[in-house]
Amino acid sequence: MRQLILGGVRSGKSRYAESLAKEVGLPVNYIATARAGDDEMKQRIQQHQAYRPANWVTWELVDAELPKQLAKLMQQPGVVLLDCLTLWLTQLLCEAPLNEALLQKVDRVLDELVEVVAAGGQAELILVGNETGLGIMPIDALSRAFGDRAGLLHQRLAEVCERVVLTVAGLPLSVKS
């Protein structure tokens, strides 16, 4: 099964996704996409690490190679939990000055990710992303590029995932099952 878990910041989406991974009872490959750019982010990463079981294998994948690595992990029995799609997208968009060439590169990588998820594999897949499209239209080009791509990525993934959940105040709300 492929599941997409969406929610706002501190909505409980990661904790919910991790509880789903634990319930399956199979080996878990955890794909972490965060870079510790400052002390506060380091602390957030440490909190996430402390909550995860010690027997989970963690893969730190923060760049355009993520779809290729995900495809490999999907061919193994078990669970693959990817947290977080939108943080990963942010890092892709910020790796170079914003221009048409960068946007085309990011779009190709997102296409590749959707293809990998659509193809599926042996592993159960749990994807986590921030639902960011509930606010106003951003004023700057980078924020608009992010919002457009995050929204379309979530739509495309929701189409190929069997289950979609929106978490609000720690509560999972089934959107597609």
- DSSP codes of every residue in 68-82: HHHHHHHTSSSEEEE
Which amino acid is present at 131? E
Catalytic positions? 48
Burial group, residue 40, by CB count within 10 angstroms (0-12, 13-18, 19+): exposed
Q: Which two tokens stand for residue 152?
A: 């379309």
Q: Which two tokens stand for residue 70?
A: 């995900």
Contacts of 133 (CB under 8 A, 6+ apart): 147, 150, 151, 154
- Enclosing H/E stretch for 175: strand 171-176
